[in-house]
Amino acid sequence: MGLMKISKYHKTIGDDVIFVKGINKEISYERYWDRIYVSTLFTYNWKVTVDTIKFYKKLVREDNSRIFVGGIMATLLREELWEATGVIPIVGLLDTPGALKDENNLIVNDMIPDYDLFKGTDQQYSLVADSYFGYSTRGCIRKCEFCGVPKLEPKYQEYRGLKPYINAIKDEFGEKNNIVLFDNNILASKKFDNIISDLIDLNFEKNAKLSFINKGGQKSYRKRLVDFNQGIDARLMTLKKVRLLSKIAIQPLRIAFDHIKDKVLYEEKVRLAAEHGIQHFSNYILYNFHDTPEHLWERLNINIKLNAELGLSIYSFPMKYIPLKNKNRIFENSPNWNWLYLRGVQRILNVLKGTVMTTEDFFYRAFGENEKEFIKILYMPEQLLMSRGIQQGPQEKDWYTKFNSLTESNRNALLSILCENKNIKSLCNAIEVNRNISIKSILEHYVPNHHSDK
């Protein structure tokens, strides 16, 4: 959304804007580029971001005054990024006049996004076509160790009037079916009731629908949706606020479930929302932080149980914790997590497209019927893990038989071997030199194509 607002800013002052994603070698070196903006994302994208900035520096003939770098990484790793690229990053929000070094009173952060930015490009996003984007607050009152918001948006802003902003988008780019708000802690606002009133006035009340003409020329209706995309804080879900939430077309209601110690509170708030007619939920499940694999399974299972008991639809999105300033994705919060466990979780999620299903049968097949079964699944060979069907095949049964026969010390030895030999060549060497018959036998399952289900 930041680039969309910057585009709107430049078009407002009469400039032409072109969007490209990543390194695009088709961009003309012959053309004079007044400015190039690079939006940075997470710090673990360090290498590709530095390479991208260096590539576009060539297009401005190494004139660093014409290249602007901002965003998450630029704020969190300002000095390192400056040193690596020679470009001084812009830190934080563009929320003051002159933030882009121009002599005018325009504030980029207050502008509406340019929904035409992606026209004529290969990047066509359905969310852009269907949804209003915006904020009703900025910042957060919390200082969570794993979150960058306190550095990105250090001052909590209670209320940003939605109606003029949304109506301006509607006037210029047409009506949108849904609204996505990226507030980091919307329930912390003392003007939460004003925000709900704004949404209702904008026709996003519960069961709201938007009319349109279908392909057959007939008038039809689509259900409208409100999405507080960054999730809400269960600790701030009072009865009054839940009643207010139930008045709008919220779907899904996203509630963070970061710690197993919050399970009583989390269940209580889901039940409270359900009592007020909210049925669709989604939540982010942080793992590889101050937790264990067993804690991850338990949190996921709580959602499965709530779905079954209350007739809800709760989708879980497990999110691996990576320290804020890590320059790659490699992080194992040992001793509770290790390379094999983390890779196992990721392979399960790859099969599930990142989302944990809502029904018991599918969940227990994917993650196991209890914490101990989940740990066994995390030991499973990658090829076998990702090719499991509804029922166990011969190869999976054989692997389970061998694994269940291992002593605890042999399981620990197997874990060490697998974590220390991450490629096939190294693993084959480990199999060859291993003298423990039980371990050697099960290790053969980790070499691709050694067995096959028929």
**pLDDT (tens digit per residue) in 274-303:** 999 999 999 999 999 999 999 999 999 999
C-alpha dihedral (393, 399, 405, 408), degrees to nearest 10: -130
- Work out the pLDDT band at 450, boundaries 50, 70, 90: very low
User: How large is the C-alpha radius of gyration of the chain?
Assistant: 25
Long-range contacts of 241-245 (CB under 8 A, 24+ apart): 241/187, 241/192, 242/269, 242/272, 242/273, 242/276, 242/278, 243/276, 244/192, 244/193, 244/196, 245/196, 245/273, 245/276, 245/278
Helix (H) or strand (E) holding 38: strand 36-40
Looking at the fold, whether 204 and 341 belong to one and the same domain comes out as yes
Looking at the fold, whether 293 and 382 belong to one and the same domain comes out as yes
Q: Which residue has the tokens 């012959």?
A: 30
> Do the domain assignments include residue 120?
no
CA distance 100 to 102: 6
**Beta-carbon count within 10 A of 248 CB:** 25
CA distance 96 to 67: 19
Percent with pLDDT over 90 in the chain: 88
CA distance 112 to 245: 25
> Do the domain assignments include residue 112?
no
Tokens of 2: 């930041």
- Work out the pLDDT band at 452, boundaries 50, 70, 90: very low
CA distance 192 to 183: 12
> Do the domain assignments include residue 143?
yes
Tokens of 312: 């809800």
Tokens of 167: 């109506």
pLDDT above 70 for 105: yes
Instruction: Provide the terminal-to-terminal Cα distance of the chain, rounded to the nearest Å.
Output: 50
Looking at the fold, whether 214 and 292 belong to one and the same domain comes out as yes
> Do the domain assignments include residue 39?
yes
> Do the domain assignments include residue 224?
yes
Average pLDDT, the chain: 94
CA distance 422 to 82: 34
- Average pLDDT (254-271) is 97
pLDDT for residue 31: 83
Looking at the fold, whether 12 and 130 belong to one and the same domain comes out as no
Identify which of 83, 91, 66, 37 has the alpha carbon closest to the alpha carbon of residue 327: 83
pLDDT above 50 for 451: no
- Average pLDDT (297-326) is 96
> Do the domain assignments include residue 259?
yes
> Do the domain assignments include residue 454?
no
pLDDT above 80 for 422: yes
- Average pLDDT (49-64) is 95
Interhelix angle 408-420/371-379, nearest 10 degrees: 40
pLDDT above 80 for 448: no
- Average pLDDT (337-349) is 97
pLDDT for residue 454: 36
Looking at the fold, whether 84 and 169 belong to one and the same domain comes out as no
Owning domain of residue 315: 126-387
- Average pLDDT (299-319) is 97
In tens, the pLDDT along 139-174 reads 999 999 899 999 999 999 999 999 999 999 999 999
> Do the domain assignments include residue 114?
no
Tokens of 357: 């299903």
Task: Tell how strand 209-213 and strand 219-223 pair up.
Answer: antiparallel
The pTM score is: 0.92
Domain end among 360, 387, 414: 387
- Average pLDDT (112-125) is 89
- Average pLDDT (103-118) is 96
